[in-house]
Amino acid sequence: MKTTLVFGGSGQLGQCLKKVTNERGIEFLKFPAEEEANVLNVEALEKLFETYKPEYVINCAAYTAVDKAESDVETSRKVNKDGAANLAQLCKQFSAVLVHVSTDFVFEGNTPFLLTESDVAAPINVYGLTKLEGEQHIIQSLDKHYILRTSWLYSEYGNNFVKTMLKLGAERDELNIIADQIGTPTYAIDLAACILDIIEADNQQYGIYHYSNEGVTSWYDFAVGIFDLAGISVKVNPIRTSQYPTPATRPVFSVMDKSKVKLTFGINIPYWRHSLQECINRLQQ
């Protein structure tokens, strides 16, 4: 029994972890209540570690409001850097392995090449910067860690692009969607399964790993795919990023190379449209 504490359990990925653990009949994941599991409350965290004595810790807790982070740097840094640092310190103290979820936004994303784990991280927004600072603190203070960078996360839970598009598609006849930002959507159920596979493998090949679904697409093509698979008729117009300015700058190309996670853990990664169909089927049920 690899007793595992999950932080950020009420968020999108946390809820997907609950679903996958239920489907697999896994009982070693513990989801403490939010008031007990505040990653900024060191005293409360220590009590949880003392109570459960976890072998593994999964950190899904993050400040993910990318545009809001530009004007709320302090909160973003507290959650994404200090929160990660607190968990890393306690994992070291209690000899636990930390599985930390990070982002493709740690990259500048200005060249059309698959991004590997060894490529230089150079964030171009506050969210990416604070997530990178969290990564760096974990690497410096804790040997036993897996950092999983992911991208364009969606699921049946929480707020995400797929659910937003389905809502807007039901309300409008026409939408303008950015076509010059390229990446890969990730079904959070697939990411949750990957995290559990890593824990169950217990192979101690610690470090940074990339995980998203397979394939490459733009936000425009992603939206078209959503409407196509959901059977919704709506006109989608491709627009440039410059036509839809946001407070935070996004990477133009942030497609990650997943070779390392596939080879190390023997993981099969689904193609993004196949996973999208599965999510839409569940949402429509």
Which residues are part of the catalytic machinery?
127
Hey, what are 210's tokens? 């990339």
User: Cα(57)–Cα(74) distance, rounded to whole angstroms?
Assistant: 25
How far, in whole angstroms, is CA 83 from its chain's centroid? 16
The helix (H) or strand (E) run that includes residue 92 is: helix 84-93
Helix and strand totals (H; E) in the chain: 11, 12
User: Cα(9)–Cα(6) distance, rounded to whole angstroms?
Assistant: 6
Place of tokens 């489907």: 23
Give the number of C-alpha atoms closer than 13 A to the C-alpha of residue 73, restricted to the C-beta side.
7
The helix (H) or strand (E) run that includes residue 67 is: helix 66-69
User: Cα(142)–Cα(131) distance, rounded to whole angstroms?
Assistant: 16
- Residues 43-73 as b/e (b if ≥16 CB within 10 A, e otherwise) read eebeebbeebebbbbbbbbbbbebeebbeee
Nearest CA among 190, 97, 181, 177 for reference residue 150: 190
DSSP lists the bridge partners of residue 149 as 102, 210
